[in-house]
Structure 1
Amino acid sequence: MTDVSVRKIIHIDMDAFYASVEQRDNPALRGKPVAVGGSRERGVVAAASYEARVFGVRSAMPSSTARRKCPDLLFVKPRFDVYKAVSQQIRAIFAEYTPLIEPLSLDEAYLDVTENRPGLASATQIAREIKVKIREATGLTASAGVSYNKFLAKLASDHNKPDGLFVIKPEAGLAFVESLRVGQFHGIGPATAGKMNQLGIATGLDLRHQTEAFLVRHFGKMGHFYHAIAHAIDNRPVRPDRERKSVGSETTFATDLFEWDELTDGLSGPITDLWQDCVRLQTTGRTLTLKIKFADFQQITRSRSFGSPIASEAQLTYLTHELLRTQLPLPKGVRLLGVSLSNLESTDGTVDQREIGRQLVIGF
């Protein structure tokens, strides 16, 4: 007998989204290795087409490294306004089926279709229809994962990329998890996977054999989560009102920065971009974080929390400069600076609204 309480969760992930949009809009790029991002020496790959991935090109890779791996790589400047417009088309398709949509980024989202607007019994049918409608509306392909919780649905969407559809039924969840390497689990990064390997935990089955107390002892509160997913359990709801935790902006420089004036000039762009986004989102924060990446890719962050939220761009600038001052003298040249706000609070439009105008995509 079917358990009517089992949820039906779909994870939709667009295939090489930014690069695919560029190939769609420019026929000369189709079938060729494409990287969206800056081609300059200090540039970073934002997204790579599947043709580029064959050569080992990946997002967040320095452009110089990507070009060494794929000498014929074609770089395209990102067009975030276009990506956002396409994302809104896709979101409208999701809304035809359910109001329970939890976007993770412009190109992926969770949908809870346990109860759905067309009244369809099959989540697999819904996922198949969504994929068809996305292709018809945008000319792009999406991969879909269907399961009874978010963890498994996301794993499933990765299983047959690109243009895939994979289903993990309730009776198959445990077996699917136990066969995976822990490094394939969403929520377990390379460092944690390495630590697990040192403890003799290489697969989902190995992880399941550990007690919850053991995992908490070695991994803190995340041990509870690891214990649950090893048993294919994930009770997190799909949250359409998913709360934003932070806003931030950063920039990579063409040459290393050393002097105070260079550094503060380098921060002006991220600070302005961050504040414009605060105005647009009607939010600000009590915790300021400065990110510094050095020429050798070593990275540090420094944070400071305040009794009241930051109230203007001028105050944000002053406090960021003061946080930077505490790190002087810097031991080596700086290739990237970033600034972010967390412990967010709604402002209801009362923040300083000077110098609004440029569109910004935060956290990309």
Structure 2
Amino acid sequence: MKLPEEPGDFNPTAAGEYWINKRQIDHTENTIHSNRKDLDPFLMWCDEHDIDRVGDLTEWTIEQYEDYAHAREDWSPITIKNKLQTLKQFLRFLGEKGAFDGYLHPAVTVPDLDRSQEVNTEKWDKTDALPQIRFMRTSAKWYGTFQHAVTEVAWFTGRRVQAIAGLDLSDYTREPDEEDTADGPYLDFNHRADEGTGLKNKLDSEEPIEISPEVADVLDHYIARERNDKRDENGREPLFTTRQGRASIAKIRGAIYIATQPCIRIACPHGENAKKCEYRKRDHASKCPSSRSPHRIRTGSIQWQLDQGIDPEDVSDRVDASVDTIRRHYDVPDDREKMENRRRKYTGVLEDSIDDDEESTEHLQSEQDDDDNPDTSSATTQ
């Protein structure tokens, strides 16, 4: 990219690309994708308002864009917050390069949200996910396909799509040997940034994650009958492959969009003919109102794991997210689910306490009865 004479002469769109390219050095592909998605509306807004130089941006233009963001009915509070946070980072970068007379990023007001506004409610809910997974497990057409296998892994582990794309065949263990401390099948997630498959939190993201025998059965079927026996450009054997090599994040994302469409199992809820619907094609699957992205699967998986009574600390290790993030953004069961979780976790303990107290009371009562009975008392002292 040819740089302008002065940083303030940067066209906003070009400046955005320059910033994104700089961030690719030390940020994951998923972060870059999010940054680009969050910044694009601002760059388009600048183009629509004939702002050709970043040096022409002022506190007032930022105020106008904020009004535009808050007025959009299709943006939730958390979406607005994310987009303004990204804009603030972008303007800070430009300010450090001298694009403005001083700094402009303090003019961006990122909204403070309460917990109910920050939780991520857009997810592949278990009421949709579990019937879909059960269907694929019993379908001769879908069982063990690429779409089925990546969806099972995404749902059961709750891991990010780039982590799933980075798995090697050797990262899957069906039968642990005697020296392995595991007692069942698992997937071992590893950070290999120098070979193009880094994890979001780098070495902190590395973790072997247990999977059920049923998920392992799906992977075994996929490996035996569907997987292309290919290596990637680094000579590694990926778990998920295409005819060219390692399956890309885009390939996995497209497969998940297809696998989460309800019309593979039931009649289309939108009244379309599934055989003729263009959304059944991988390149258009994301446009289906009922399909879900890998991130929505991750969100639903985290909630599902929490709903099963798994401690947030254990879910944190499985899905590679901080406990604070899980509690703040995901742990939002309804009142009945909260009751059921408390029942599973505490009812037995409380009941044991009652039993213990009853035994203690009976023992004390027995001693009291002995004290009150002179015949028993004298017999004891003789």
* TM-score for both structures, normalised by structure 1: 0.25
User: Which structure has more strand as a fraction of its residues?
Assistant: 1
* TM-score for both structures, normalised by structure 2: 0.24
